[in-house]
Structure formats: C-alpha cells, structure tokens
Amino acid sequence: MRLPSSPLTHASDLHHSSNMTTVSNAPLINFNINFSYYIVASSAAVIYDWALTIEQEFELVWRYHWSLMTVLYISVRYVGIAYIVINMLQLLPTVSMTDEVRVSEILDKLVGFSGNVMYLTLNWMGVLTNAMLGAIMITRLYAMYQRSRNMLIFLIVFFTTVTIACGVMIGMVNKHTVGGELILSGTYMCSCYDPEADALILLFMTWVLSTVWEVLALCLAVWIVVKHFRGLPRSRMGWAVGDCFTVLMRTHVVYFASFAAVSCFDLGYLSPQLDSLAVGPQIYGGIRQILSVVQLFVLGPRLILSVRQYYAKDMDNSEAGVDLIPMSFQERKHVSTGGGV
C-alpha cells in the first residue's frame, strides 16, 4: 500500500530525522524548504486538474443519479484536495505545529497512540484512497467480465486480504512512530521517525502486496480485452463494444504505468545512496512525490470520469440506442444501466 510521500514518510527521511543532531541545521532546513516546492507542485497539479474537469464533473457526476461510483469519485477527488492542504500546512516553515504535537501526546496517554497527528492523518488518508481506487478497479473488471459473480467474489476476497494486511502493517509502523516539532533558525518543521529497524521491512512488504494486486488487475484487464477483440464481429455493435474496451484499457494502462513509476521510485529508496540530505535525493524524492499524488488524486478520479465522458458522447451521437448495458459504467437520468461508474 503506497502512500504519497513527504519528508516524514520515507525510510531514508526517517533516518534524517533520527540523526538530526549530527548534522548542521542549514542542510536540514534547506532539505525541508526544497522539498516543500515539490509539495506545492504536486498540489498545483491536483488543483489544476480539478479546475479543468469541474464542468465535466458537474455534468457527469453531480447531475447523475447517485451510485457507488459517484460516491467513490467524489471521495477520491476531495480526499485528494484535503490531503494536499494538510500536506502543505505541515511543511510551512512559518506555522508552528505545537498544537498538533500536544494533541498527539494526549492521544498517547489515552490510547497509547503516539506520533505527529498530521503525519498519521496523511498516512491513513493514503490508505483510504488506495482502498477506494481498488474498489473502482474491481467494478471496472466486474463489468469487463460481463458481471461474472465468480470474478467479483475472487476480486473482493483478494483485494480485501491485501488491504487488511497492508493496513495492519502500516498501523504497526505508525504505532512506533515518534513525532515532534523542530524549531531551527526561526523555522518550524515536523519531525517523525520510527526507531524500529523493522519499519523498512514492513513498508517493503506493503509495496510487494500492492504491486501484486496492480499486476493482477492489469493482467485480468489485458486478458479480457484480447479475448473480446478476437471474438467480436466487425459490426456496428461489435465496434461500439470494442471502443468501450479501448477506453477502459487505455485509462487502465495509463494508471498502471504511473503506479509502476512510483513503485520503481519506492524500490530505489532501498539504496543507501539516497540516505542523505544532498541535492540528488531531494530531486528524487520530489519527483516521486509528484508522481504519487498525480497517480492517486488525478488519474484515480479520471478512471471514472473518462468512461462516463465516453458514454455521454456516445449517447449524444447515437439515436439507435446501442445496447451497452453489460459494459456500462454510468447512470443517465432517463437510462438506468444498473452499473457503476
């Protein structure tokens, strides 16, 4: 289960915080400030995409009958906006996080839950977003496999197992995370680190499980697309369904490519050369931050929006009313498809 990165969520950055007494203040301050630029860039990408699609969102989401996909779209989109706001607040060098640290100390006394509140909130928002994206992917595959009950049960059981396992491991990492606030040269920064060496192993295991799920979803999508294209007659009906599969496959491949890129960056953090405050690791972590946020909060909502846009265009251009119910991901005002997106 991958999480959008910040200076507090990488294993290498955890080492930075735990060894901060051995380095001068200037490199640590510069690292935090420079990384904040990437945070702003990733936040701008989410806001820019939302501004570009707000009209389509109103027409294709808010004006339609509400369904599971409607709820998932709105949740992913606006959890993403909330995420970037919180992420920027925790990195502002002029804002003190004393109140957040005090709250975490109270929680530690009440329920034994320590760590920086903002850090933990961001982590669990990432977990929640990954779970919702998994639900979107299951719905897409369910429709692509002609509403196969066996496929639906298999996908739900597999993904639920992966999600629970990843959630437990992330919870174990968060439980031992120590949070606090640093005031260096008049600037404020949150500092969280995990004193347990097993944290890196747990994070790597979540990476493996999430990768297995994404690869499985891609293979299932490719298999059914190839099977349908080989068996479809070259008729208007056939090409209409074929076009639908093309839209589904294209958005899936783009999403998976972004996931693969982020996963490669995550794997690169195993290299000890990235365990420093040098410029190279800053750029590396910054690019990973942008890719991760774009994958979750830009490409994620577009998994739904692109399909609804296709069907809206198809409905407007066709008066014949081609029967696309088995592949439908939408609910029109006057046409109920019983589907999802």
Q: What is the domain range of residue 248?
A: 11-327
For residue 154, pLDDT beyond 90: yes
Residue 340 lies in a domain: no
**176 or 309, greater pLDDT:** 309
For residue 337, pLDDT beyond 60: no
- pTM over cut 0.85: no
Mean pLDDT of the chain: 74
Nearest to 255 by CA among 296, 308, 211: 296
Q: Say if residue 21 is exposed, middle or buried (CB neighbours under 10 Å; 0-12, 13-18, 19+).
A: exposed
Nearest to 311 by CA among 301, 298, 326: 326
Structural tokens at position 62: 């808010």
Dihedral sign computed on CA atoms, order 7, 10, 289, 174: negative
Residue 208 phi, psi dihedral angles, 5° rounding: -65, -45
Cα-based angle 7, 11, 16 (whole degrees, multiple of 5): 60
Strand locations in the chain (E): 178-184, 187-193
Say which range, 105-119, 213-227, 243-257, has the weakest mean pLDDT: 105-119
Residue 190 lies in a domain: yes
For residue 216, pLDDT beyond 70: yes
Residue 113 lies in a domain: yes
Mean pLDDT of 321-335: 39
**CATH number of residue 294's parent domain:** 1.20.1070
Query: CA-CA distance, 73 to 237, in Å (whole number)?
Result: 29
Res. 172 pLDDT band, cuts 50 70 90: confident
Query: Which pLDDT score is estimated for 275?
Result: 66
Query: Which pLDDT score is estimated for 193?
Result: 54
Return the exposure string of 32-54: e unless at least 16 CB atoms fall within 10 Å of the residue's CB, then b: beebbebbeebbebbeebbeebe
Dihedral sign computed on CA atoms, order 201, 207, 212, 215: negative
Res. 74 pLDDT band, cuts 50 70 90: very high
Strand locations in 163-224 (E): 178-184, 187-193
Q: Phi-psi category of 146—alpha, beta or left, where left has phi over 0 and alpha has psi -120 to 50? A: left
For residue 68, pLDDT beyond 80: yes
Percent of the residues in the chain that have a pLDDT greater than 70, as a whole number: 64
Say which range, 72-81, 149-158, 310-319, has the weakest mean pLDDT: 310-319
Mean pLDDT of 186-197: 55
Q: Which helix (H) or strand (E) holds 331?
A: none
For residue 224, pLDDT beyond 80: yes
Structural tokens at position 11: 């294993």
- Reduce the DSSP state of residue 256 to 3 states and report it: helix
pLDDT digits (tens, 9 = 90+) for 54-66: 999 999 999 888 8
- Reduce the DSSP state of residue 164 to 3 states and report it: helix
Residue 335 lies in a domain: no
Query: CA-CA distance, 122 to 301, in Å (whole number)?
Result: 19
The residue whose two tokens read 């992330």 is 170
Return all residues near 13 (Cβ < 8 A) that are at least 6 apart: 7, 285
Query: Which pLDDT score is estimated for 102?
Result: 43
Query: Which pLDDT score is estimated for 8?
Result: 43
Mean pLDDT of 170-178: 74
Query: Which pLDDT score is estimated for 218?
Result: 94
Residue 339 lies in a domain: no
Say which range, 84-88, 139-143, 295-299, has the weakest mean pLDDT: 84-88
Residue 4 lies in a domain: no
**170 or 4, greater pLDDT:** 170
Specify which of 106-115, 152-161, 199-208, 243-252 reaches the highest per-range mean pLDDT.
152-161
Domain total of the chain? 1
For residue 232, pLDDT beyond 90: no
Residue 6 lies in a domain: no
Residue 3 lies in a domain: no
Mean pLDDT of 319-327: 37
Query: CA-CA distance, 167 to 236, in Å (whole number)?
Result: 46
Query: CA-CA distance, 163 to 320, in Å (whole number)?
Result: 43
pLDDT digits (tens, 9 = 90+) for 8-55: 444 344 344 444 443 456 677 777 777 888 888 999 999 999 999 999
